[in-house]
Chains A and B, each alone.
Chain A
Amino acid sequence: MYNFTFHRPTTVRQAAGLLARNPDGKLLAGGHSLLPVMKQRLAQPSALVDLSLVEGMTGVELKGRSVVIGAMTRHADVAKSDVLKEVMPGLAAVPGSVGDPQVRNRGTIGGSIANNDPNADYPAACLGLGATIITNKRRIAADDFFQGMYTTALEDGEIIVKVSFPIAKKAAYEKFKHPASGFALVGVFVSKRGSDIRVAVTGAGSEGVFRVPTFEEALKKRFTAKSIEGMTIPATGMNSDIHASPEYRAHLVSVLTKRALNKANA
Chain B
Amino acid sequence: MSANGIGAPVRRKEDFRFITGQGQYTDDVVRPGETRAVFVRSPHAHAKIKSIDVSAARTMPGVIDVLTGAQLAGDKIGNLICGWMIHSKDGSPMKMSAHPALAAGKVNCVGDAVAVVIAESQAQGRDAAEKVKVDYEVLPAVVDPAKAQAKGAPQIHPDIPNNTIYQWHLGDQAAVKAAFDAASHVTTLDIINNRLVPNAMEPRAALAEYDAGTDNLTLWNTSQNPHVARLVISAFVGITPEHKLRVIAPDVGGGFGSKIFIYPEEVVCLWAARKVKRPVKWTADRSEAFLTDAHGRDHVTRAELALDASGKILALRAKTIANLGAYMSTFSSSVPTYLYATLLSGQYAIPSIYCEVDAVYTNTAPVDAYRGAGRPEATFVVERLIEVAARQMDLEPPELRRRNFIKNFPHQTPVIMAYDAGDYNASMKKAMEIADVKGFAKRKREAARNGKLRGLGYSTYIEACGIAPSQAVGSLGAGVGLWESAEVRVNPTGSVEILTGSHSHGQGHETTFAQLVSERLGIPFDSVSIVHGDTDKVQFGMGTYGSRSGAVGMSAIVKALDKIEAKAKKVAAFMMEAAEGDIEFKDGKFTVAGTDKSAAFGDVALNAYIAHKFTGAELEPGLKETSFYDPTNFTFPAGCHICELDIDIETGKVDIVNWTAVDDFGTVINPMIVEGQVHGGIAQGVGQALMEGAVYDQAGQLVTGSFMDYSMPHAHDLPSFHVGTTETKAPSNPLGMKGCGEAGAIASPAAVINAITDAIGSEDIAMPATANAVWSALQRAKAPKAA
Contacts and interface: CB of A to CB of B under 8 A. Distances in A.
Nearest to A119: B708
Nearest to B287: A40
Interface string A1-34: 1100000000000000000000000000000000
Interface string A138-164: 000000000000000000000000000
Interface stretch (B163-171, B258-266, B769-777): B769-777
A242 B693 CA distance: 10
Contacts of B695: 242
Contact of A242 (B123, B653, B704): B704
B651 A180 contact: no
A180 B775 contact: no
B153 interface: no
Nearest to B693: A242
Interface in B639-674: 650-653
A180 B711 contact: yes
Interface string A241-253: 0111100100110
A1 B124 CA distance: 11
B712 interface: yes
A181 B708 contact: yes
B709 A255 contact: no
B126 A255 contact: no
Interface in A218-259: 242-245, 248, 251-252, 255
A245 B771 CA distance: 11
Given A176-B651, A180-B712, A255-B650, A248 B772 contact: yes
A179 B691 contact: yes
Given A40-B287, A176-B651, A248-B776, A242 B703 contact: yes
A245 B710 contact: no
B440 interface: no
B708 A180 contact: yes
Nearest to B697: A242
B772 A181 contact: no
B707 interface: yes
Contacts of B651: 176, 252, 255
B708 A243 contact: no
Interface residues of B, number: 25
Contact of B770 (A1, A179, A252): A179
Interface in B596-615: none
A181 B287 contact: no
Interface residues of A, number: 16
A216 B478 CA distance: 67
Interface in B761-780: 770-772, 775-776
B126 A41 contact: yes
Contacts of A251: 775
Contacts of A248: 652, 772, 775-776
B703 A180 contact: no
Which one of A40, A176, A242, A255 has the greatest number of beta carbons of chain B within 10 Å? Answer: A242
**Residue of B652, B695, B708, B712 with highest tally of chain A CB at under 10 A:** B708
Contacts of B691: 179-180
B683 to A, nearest CB: 14
B123 A1 contact: yes
Contacts of A1: 123
Contacts of A2: 127
B650 A180 contact: no
Interface string B692-721: 000100000001100111111000010000
Interface in B746-787: 770-772, 775-776
B740 to A, nearest CB: 28
A245 B772 contact: yes
Given A40-B287, A242-B703, A255-B651, A181 B775 contact: no
Interface in A167-190: 176, 179-181
Contacts of B771: 176, 179
Contacts of A179: 691, 711, 717, 770-771
Interface of B: 123, 126-127, 130, 287, 650-653, 691, 695, 703-704, 707-712, 717, 770-772, 775-776
21 contacts: A1-B123, A2-B127, A179-B691, A179-B717, A179-B771, A180-B691, A180-B707, A180-B708, A180-B711, A180-B712, A181-B707, A181-B708, A242-B703, A243-B709, A243-B770, A243-B772, A244-B772, A248-B652, A248-B775, A248-B776, A251-B775
Interface of A: 1-2, 40-41, 176, 179-181, 242-245, 248, 251-252, 255
Given A2-B127, A179-B770, A181-B707, 10 more contacts: A176-B651, A176-B771, A179-B711, A179-B771, A180-B707, A244-B772, A251-B775, A252-B651, A255-B650, A255-B651
Please list the 6 inter-chain residue pairs (A to B) with the smallest Cβ-Cβ separation, ordered nearest first. Answer: A180-B711, A179-B711, A248-B772, A181-B708, A255-B650, A244-B772
